[in-house]
Amino acid sequence: MKLNTEDFRVPPGKKVTLEKWPTFVKPACKSRGDYQKLLAEHVAQLSALQKLLYATDSHAVLMIFQAMDAAGKDGAIQHVMSGVNPQGCQVFSFKHPSATELTHDFLWRTTQCLPERGRIGIFNRSYYEEVLIVRVHPELLTGEALPGTPLAAKTVWKERYRSIVQQEEHLTRNGTRIIKFFLHLSKDEQRKRFLARIDDADKNWKFSQADMAERAFWDDYMKAYQDCLSATSTRAAPWYVVPADDKENARLLDDFVFMPLTIGRSLRLHPLLTVIMIFVGGAVAGVADLMLVLPLLGVVMVLGETIGEITTDPRLRARHAFAKRLQQRQVTHDLRP
């Protein structure tokens, strides 16, 4: 089975109807022997490629994750970044804004957390909450002390979409590559995961009554996501709708683990893509919860392509080589008696 990241990308200007986007993708199968062989050959390259991104000091990568509850954002972030040096990665989770944050514009708190050049930044939820949960619960706007009566004007959401797009265009012009992931979970699969959290004592802490309360607004959230994806997916900062459902049959675990290798070969992508996929596959092998695997698949594909585009520039590689030579000279100098 072949997958193409363009199949998950929301084209600029396209009106999104989430019912037409899949929540599950059938996996392909490969043998464990092939996986172990490629893992041994390529896992060492991952560190070097990330160092190249860091050494260029000219670009940053910002990954944004949005999803309904129980879609697997936390697990996807944890395992995707398991193969990345934590010194080159920054993760921020955004919940309800504080009193101080509410006294500023809605982009202020996330702007302070943007990644510097050479690093990968991850937003677990983001400024998009202001056109998602706030749209579903418009009474939250009253706490933001906005001038006038924004809801009465009926333009508040379009204005926020425009602010977001302009902000992302500004970041892109200044060297930050933005990729945005919506982990697309079905309502039925969310129900199963909520029940699993209740039945499994080790997962009880993940469940809250607030999750059930928000589930009652499912249709409103789908409408908010559709409008958001349609209005803010651009060429500079595209949205990817990643299938977040997964089959329950544990016998497919090996197939899911080897799926990244199949895709890395079939698409003939930049070597970094295959390296990241293989390493993530190794991390997923120890994960009992299969719901993480398909979201991981889409995320690592896009992340690999994005960093690959940056690091294939020969000028950047030359800068990296020069920096490495300087470092070696410094070490040699320090070791002299």
CB 74 within 8 A of CB 124: yes
Q: Is residue 158 part of a domain?
A: yes
Tokens of 332: 């040699």
Tokens of 235: 């060429």
Structural domain of 314: 5-327
Mean pLDDT, the chain, integer: 75
Q: Is residue 334 part of a domain?
A: no
What does the pLDDT read at residue 295? Answer: 52
Write down the H helix ranges in the chain.
Answer: 32-56, 73-80, 99-102, 108-111, 133-136, 150-153, 156-173, 187-199, 209-215, 218-232, 253-267, 271-284, 293-311, 314-335
Tokens of 279: 């390493």
- Crossing angle of helices 293-311 and 253-267, rounded to 10°: 30
What does the pLDDT read at residue 26? Answer: 67
Model confidence over 268-303: pLDDT tens digits?
A: 334 343 333 333 444 433 333 434 444 554 565 566
What does the pLDDT read at residue 207? Answer: 78
Q: Name the domain count of the chain.
A: 1
Q: Is residue 333 part of a domain?
A: no
Going 56 to 108 to 168 to 179, the CA torsion angle's sign is positive
What does the pLDDT read at residue 33? Answer: 61
pLDDT greater than 60 at residue 37: no
Q: What percent of the chain has pLDDT over 70?
A: 62
Question: Which amino acid makes up residue 188?
Answer: D
The CATH number for 274's domain is 3.40.50.300
Q: Is residue 336 part of a domain?
A: no
pTM: 0.76
Q: Is residue 332 part of a domain?
A: no
Model confidence over 109-164: pLDDT tens digits?
A: 999 999 999 888 899 999 999 999 999 999 998 888 888 777 766 789 999 999 99
Q: Is residue 314 part of a domain?
A: yes
Q: Which residues contact 161 (CB under 8 A, 6 or more apart)?
A: 131, 228, 231, 232
CB 8 within 8 A of CB 241: yes
For residue 227, give the nearest of 154, 157, 155 by alpha carbon.
157
* Confidence at 1, pLDDT banded by 50, 70, 90: very low
Q: Is residue 337 part of a domain?
A: no
Tokens of 171: 């970041």
What's the rounded Cα separation, in Å, for the pair 228 and 202?
Answer: 35
Residue 48 CA: distances (Å) to CA of 206, 310, 316, 322, 335: 36, 14, 13, 15, 24
Q: Is residue 335 part of a domain?
A: no
